[in-house]
Amino acid sequence: MERAIKEEKRVFMTGNEVVAWGALAAEADIMYGYPITPQNEVMHYWTRLAPKHGRKFLQTEDELSAGFTTIGGVLAGRRAFTATAGPGNILLQEPVSMAEMMRLPMVMAIMQRGGPSTATVIYSQQEVNLTTSGGNGEALRIVYSTATHQELYDYTIKAFNAAWKYRFPTFILGDGYQAKMREPLVMYNPQDKGVEMAASEPFVGKEGKFGEGREPAHLRNAFSMEEELYEVVMEHIQDYNKITPQIVEYVSLGCEEADLVIVAHGIVSRAAVAAQEKLRREGYRVGFFRPITLRPFPVRALRKVCKSTSKFLVVESAFGQLARLVKEALFGLEAEMDEIFMPGLGITSEKIIGHVKKKSELKV
Amino acid sequence: MSRIIEAYVGEYASGKSENAVNRALDLARQGRKVVLVDLDLVEPFYTLRPLKNKLENMGIEVIAWETKDTFGLGEAGYVIKPEMRWALRRKGDIIFDVGYGVQGFRIFNLVEGALEEENLKIYAVVNISRPLTSSVEDIIAYLNLFGRVDGIINNSHLGELTDKDVIEEGIQVIREVSRITGIPVIAISVEKNLEFLAGKSNFQGFPVRFLERYMPQSLW
């Protein structure tokens, strides 16, 4: 495939465009999609880029179809992806569950919007439950929560590679603010950075005959025997647990010597890290923990933090969706949990700083 | 004194609104009566709507929806405000901020008398750091999609990473676009805090418009 990005270059973009360019750099062959705010420009820019770079696009009748056609593309060996938000993410969960059962490398970008239902189009972190565990089955999927345009680019490339390497559905989880906001980033060709690109290959119509040098392509999502299902699902779970340490990513700052750790993900983590830095400068012993992978969650790392600091402040633009993951990770340990939950609203560093100063007896 | 009528068009996120707002305020500071028209019907939540009151307090009239008068800021359907359609019947200078790229510009014919208006100038705002309008060829191809462009504003920048190289490379590319197409370069726009990079009022022979940043305050 031709090099879509000729040379490393500083550019100025909106987040949705970054996803389209990241997919281009990741050698995506085709996007299937249905319009929904705030992800529309992922499609708009992909459709402007695709003809210039020999890639393809199909507009489907809804997100259910976008998900299943993405699976179709993947079955044919194409690096296929889709992007959606909110109610579209709900429809997408059925094909994602199928991909999970069949172990298909499906890639999706989600630009979260407010909910429940159609709600607002601009900004929210209320699709964490849905994206990390929305399907039936065991939620064996990878979810990267990004905070900057550079990360949107880096993790879009990574999402394709993780999906094709580990064969689990993989999400890039952004939000409406990241989707629409504008900031600079560096675009590059991943191979030039030494990124190993996981190869894509067809799942059906493979070359040769099964039994003669290759295994049969055995793709199933329906099972008639409970024991048989159990065996297959347990195998998937074992695979998932085995690769978890390789996939898990997080940022931990100043948590070792802290009286309080602020936990946030995605765009809110930018406000949280700014708050942590400012509070530190003022003499407050505050740490910062940000899961980059929401699934698998950095359980081990957070439990380690909890052993030195057991007071947490979870900050999110949702009502406890990140906190649920945090509590599950810390189960059995003694921990105090404070919160700033603002579903569908933006959170500033000033808000977090004010909260910490008012609530805590951490005073210098 | 003939009146100034300008429509700011260009690639998505090229800086149309910021340039339109600054131009309107600049004209008002010269003592002129100015009407700023927010013509983005595609993304009404990223438009001048949240800035309306602030800008009006600064001395310009803004034709934009008020948040309380809107519904479903996105997919629920968005309508043109009657005052937008009849904007050219108003007195004074009229600055149109025509949002959302070429697709957004397609609604410009809804403004009564716009394309027959002899004073109308359509100015394309170009930032060469936007990847799809970064080369001479791409910019010319993109400008052609508008059907008519009367002038180019070079708004090349990289946000907080803008340096002199970015501004100068922008000038070089835009100068070449202008040479080939015959479309004049109207101005170089540079963020006010970078004044030290671009000199006073003239940079490499082009007039400079210094921009105050208003749009970051407009996000919902």
Helix residue spans in B161-218 (DSSP H): 164-181, 195-198
> For residue range A308-344, what is the model confidence (pLDDT) as tens digits?
999 999 999 999 999 999 999 999 999 999 999 999 9
Domain termination site, one of A193, A211, A231 = A193
Q: What domain range includes position A181? A: 9-193
Sheet strands (E) in chain B: 5-10, 34-38, 61-63, 93-97, 120-126, 151-154, 185-191, 202-203, 206-211
pLDDT of residue A95: 98
Same structural domain, A301 and A179: no
Tell me the CATH number at B197.
3.40.50.300
SS3 A191: helix
Helix (H) / strand (E) element for A331: namely: none
Using pLDDT thresholds of 50, 70 and 90, give the confidence band for residue B69: confident
- How close, in Å, is residue B99 to chain A by CA atoms? 14
Q: Determine, yes or no, domain membership for A223.
A: no
Whole-structure pTM value: 0.94
Site of tokens 């002199």: B164
**CA A286 from chain center: how many Å?**
27
Are A323 and A335 in contact by the 8 Å Cβ rule? The answer is no
Q: What domain range includes position B54? A: 5-218
Same structural domain, A160 and A297: no
DSSP A61: S
Beta-carbon count within 10 A of A211 CB: 8
Same structural domain, A187 and A261: no
**Structure tokens of A146?**
């990004």
**Into how many domains does chain B fold?**
1
pLDDT of residue B43: 73
- Region for A187 from its dihedrals, namely left if φ exceeds 0, alpha if ψ lies in -120 to 50, beta otherwise: beta
Are A81 and A70 in contact by the 8 Å Cβ rule? The answer is yes
By DSSP bridging, strand A311-316 and strand B202-203 are unpaired
Lowest-confidence range among A104-108, B151-155, B159-163, B201-205? Answer: B201-205
pLDDT of residue B71: 64
> For residue range A119-132, what is the model confidence (pLDDT) as tens digits?
888 789 999 999 99
Integer Cα distance of B164 and B157 in angstroms: 9
Tell me the CATH number at A18.
3.40.50.970
Checking ipTM against 0.85, whether it exceeds it is yes
**In chain B, positions 125-144, which contact chain A (CB-CB < 8 Å)?**
127, 129-132, 134
Q: Which chain B residues have a beta carbon less than 8 Å from that of A11? A: 129-131, 134, 158
Same structural domain, A269 and A189: no
B91, amino acid identity = K
Tell me the CATH number at A292.
3.40.50.920
- How close, in Å, is residue A48 to chain B by CA atoms? 9
Q: Determine, yes or no, domain membership for A1.
A: no
A125 closest CA partner among A32, A4, A264:
A264
- How close, in Å, is residue B88 to chain A by CA atoms? 31
Domain termination site, one of A148, A173, A193 = A193
- Asked if B12's CB is within 8 angstroms of A11's CB, the reply is no
**Into how many domains does chain A fold?**
2
- Asked if B13's CB is within 8 angstroms of A182's CB, the reply is yes
Top residue of B11, B12, B134, B142 to mutate, by most chain A CBs within 10 Å, is: B12
Helix residue spans in A221-298 (DSSP H): 226-247, 268-281
Phi and psi at B134, nearest 5°, equal: -105, -20
pLDDT of residue B46: 66
pLDDT of residue A214: 87
- Asked if A182's CB is within 8 angstroms of B160's CB, the reply is no
Q: Determine, yes or no, domain membership for A275.
A: yes
A281-310 CB burial, b ≥16 within 10 A, e <16: eeebebbbbbbbbbbbbbbebbeebbeebb
Phi and psi at B219, nearest 5°, equal: -70, 110
Q: Determine, yes or no, domain membership for A235.
A: no
By DSSP bridging, strand A250-253 and strand A286-291 are antiparallel
Q: Determine, yes or no, domain membership for A200.
A: no
> For residue range B42-60, what is the model confidence (pLDDT) as tens digits?
776 667 888 999 999 999 9
Integer Cα distance of A339 and A320 in angstroms: 8
Same structural domain, A189 and A262: no
By DSSP bridging, strand B185-191 and strand A311-316 are unpaired
**CA A133 from chain center: how many Å?**
12
Helix residue spans in chain A (DSSP H): 15-25, 40-49, 63-75, 86-102, 128-133, 149-166, 176-180, 226-247, 268-281, 299-308, 321-329, 349-359
Q: Determine, yes or no, domain membership for A79.
A: yes
Same structural domain, A161 and A49: yes
Beta-carbon count within 10 A of B175 CB: 17
pLDDT of residue B136: 98
Q: Which chain A residues have a beta carbon less than 8 Å from that of B219? A: 177, 180-181
Q: What is the dihedral of CA A96, A99, A100, A104, to 10 degrees?
A: -130
Domain termination site, one of A193, A227, A259 = A193
pLDDT of residue A217: 85
Integer Cα distance of A40 and A265 in angstroms: 23
Same structural domain, A180 and A257: no
A77 closest CA partner among A29, A109, A17:
A29
Same structural domain, A161 and A288: no
**Structure tokens of A291?**
């899961």
B50, amino acid identity = P
- Asked if B130's CB is within 8 angstroms of A12's CB, the reply is yes
Average pLDDT taken over every residue of chain A: 95
Helix (H) / strand (E) element for A335: namely: none
**Structure tokens of B182?**
């015959």
Same structural domain, A175 and A303: no
- How close, in Å, is residue A177 to chain B by CA atoms? 9
Same structural domain, A142 and A256: no
> For residue range A142-180, what is the model confidence (pLDDT) as tens digits?
999 999 999 999 999 999 999 999 999 999 999 999 999
